[in-house]
């Protein structure tokens, strides 16, 4: 299926990019936004935002968290590629956020390195009071926490925020409706 998809893309039968753009971008790119998104297969940022090749600098990790290599990628996007927007994009029904909720409420443990992707989300879960909708509220709390941490990331992100060349924002994608809520404040 991947080969067929790539063949369609090269032939111009895809809506997310045109073959002519491949050659245009061979020598460089200037994406307008860095998107930190979950690696969930239901949440591809280029499709969600109907953007093509070269438009977005996308960092994907389960739970849309940022570690040191993620921060380095964001800083590269800002300082080298000239992006002016960093968007942390969470999504409803996030499995890793659900795992963090279980780690807090049920003391669940996870095999292998899964715990390392759950751990950064636990503080967001702990910041909330329980309830039936804890997992969904934790999605937003996680986005807000990552946004807050990025706004304090020195020196490149904070410099861009201070001089007005960079904006850091959060949003949540609803996988049931397809809508992105851009009203997630940190």
Fold of 31-184: Beta-carbonic Anhydrase; Chain A (3.40.1050)
User: What is the percent of the chain with per-residue pLDDT over 70, rounded to a whole number?
Assistant: 87
Name the maximum alpha-carbon separation found in the chain. 52
- Identify the band that residue 8 occupies on the pLDDT scale cut at 50, 70 and 90: low
pLDDT for position 71: 97
Q: CB of 99 within 8 A of CB of 181?
A: no
Contact in structure between 90 and 96 (CB atoms under 8 Å): no
More confident: 13 or 104: 104
Cα–Cα distance for residue pair 120/124, rounded to 1 Å:
8
* Cα dist from 163 to 153, 154, 166, 183, whole Å: 15, 13, 8, 23
pLDDT of residue 91: 97
Q: Each residue of 35-76: pLDDT tens digit?
A: 999 999 999 888 888 788 888 999 999 999 999 999 999 999
pLDDT interval class at 4 (50, 70, 90): low
Mean pLDDT over 72-83 rounds to: 96
Per the model's pLDDT, the better-predicted residue between 129 and 47 turns out to be 129
Residues 6+ apart with CB under 8 A from 129: none
The whole-number average pLDDT for the span 138-143 is 98
Mean pLDDT of the chain: 89
Overall pTM surpassing 0.85 (yes/no): yes
Going by C-beta distance under 8 Å and a sequence separation of 6 or more, which residues neighbour residue 11?
19
What are the residue ranges spanned by the domains of the chain?
Answer: 1-28, 31-184
How large a percentage of the chain has pLDDT more than 90? Answer: 70
Split at pLDDT 50, 70, 90, the class of 20 is: low
Are 58 and 51 spatial neighbours (Cβ–Cβ below 8 Å)?
no
Is the pLDDT confidence value at 17 over 60? no
DSSP 8-state class, residue 129? -
Separation CA 80–CA 53 (nearest Å): 18
What is the predicted pLDDT for the residue at 14? 59
The pLDDT confidence band at residue 28, using thresholds 50, 70 and 90, is confident
């Amino acid at each position: 299926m991947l080969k067929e998809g790539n063949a369609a893309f090269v032939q111009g039968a895809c809506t997310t990019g045109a073959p002519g753009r491949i050659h245009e971008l061979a020598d460089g790119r200037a994406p307008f936004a860095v998107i930190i998104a979950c690696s969930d297969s239901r949440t591809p940022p280029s499709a969600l935002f109907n953007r093509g090749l070269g438009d977005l600098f996308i960092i994907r990790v389960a739970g849309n968290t940022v570690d040191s290599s993620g921060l380095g990628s964001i800083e590269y996007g800002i300082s080298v590629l000239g992006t002016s927007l960093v968007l942390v994009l969470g999504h409803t029904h996030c499995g890793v956020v659900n795992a963090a909720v279980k780690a807090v409420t049920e003391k669940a443990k996870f095999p292998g390195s899964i715990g390392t992707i759950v751990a950064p989300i636990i503080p967001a879960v702990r910041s909330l009071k329980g309830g039936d909708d804890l997992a969904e509220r934790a999605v937003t709390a996680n986005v807000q926490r990552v946004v807050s941490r990025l706004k304090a990331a020195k020196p490149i992100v904070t410099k861009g925020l201070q001089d007005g060349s960079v904006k850091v924002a959060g949003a949540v994608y609803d996988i049931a409706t397809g809508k992105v809520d851009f009203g997630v404040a940190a």
